[in-house]
Amino acid sequence: MTLQAIILGVDGVLAETQEARREAFNTVFAEAGLDWHWERSLFAELLKVTDGEDMIQAFVNTYHSHWRSTEDMRLLITAMTRRHATIYQELLDKGAVNFRAGVAEFLRIAARAGVLLAIATTESRSQVAGLLGANRELLETADFNVVCTADDCAGGKAEDRFSRALKTLALGPEVCLAVESSAKGVRSAAMGGLPTVITWGIYSQLHECGEVLKAIPEGSPLWASSMILSEWVCGKPDELLVRLRKFHAAQLTIPQSPSVPVSAARFRPDKSSRNNKCRYAV
């Protein structure tokens, strides 16, 4: 069976949307008259909690614990979270968040090759629309066949997004690949039985991704293994599509024995991950 569809996450894959979120948070804090400023290192730690209101609460609990139980602080956190969503949406709508370099070209090449394109993300429908609208000229004819957002998932469960995308595509996981950059995304893809390509984003948590893969229980399909890319497109999107197809084909040759667990050895991050060459491990 050949590769029929690629299901992509948004943050760290299509674009570095978390940078825009960080900018929006810092704008909100300034508007509130607070001297808080979240640098990338701090923001990366807070992302491990979740996002939105819980991130601010975690920050307050850690750095301003004398405020954490006050009613005024709870109300302020709620108000700042709502204001953050507005600012972030404005950034998307005005085109302040661009696709990562080479992504649009890769999508065009994949679409011309007959590969279906889908999005599965925890972003809202309006946020995805803002990002795609701002990058429409780059996409040209590379339209997404399916866009599954947090709004589309049953009961609002973001972990269902890949299963939802597969259902909408009317395809089985064995003919698809997922592309993700976070532990949450890798976990969701694995739950859908998808082979997963892990790419570097600014806030990629490679160690956490590896822990997710190693934790896949014995008896799970072996096609939930991974390919690690040190760079996502690497300036050679045509070569990348060839590599993705080879990786996908390799998964289909692995015996689907329920007695063999997914091997942790399949997760071998490239030690020279910050160079400009495409490297991967399978």
The per-residue pLDDT for range 74-133, each reduced to its tens digit, is 899 999 999 999 999 999 988 899 998 889 999 999 999 999 999 999 888 999 999 998
Residues of the chain with CATH 1.10.150.240: 18-93
pLDDT value at residue 205:
65
Q: What is the mean pLDDT of residues 264-282?
A: 32
Q: What crossing angle do the helices spanning 103-112 and 237-252 adopt, rounded to 10°?
A: 60
Q: Which CATH number fits domain 5-16+99-266: 3.40.50.1000, 3.20.20.70, 1.20.1580.10, 3.40.50.2300?
A: 3.40.50.1000
Which overall architecture, per CATH, does domain 18-93 show? Answer: Orthogonal Bundle (1.10)
Query: Hey, which residues does 147 pair with through a beta bridge?
Result: 119
Tell me if 103 sits within 8 A of 232, measured CB to CB.
Answer: yes
Supply 145's token pair: 């066949």
pLDDT for 142-154, tens place per residue?
789 999 998 887 5
Residues of the chain with CATH 3.40.50.1000: 5-16+99-266
Supply 143's token pair: 């339209």
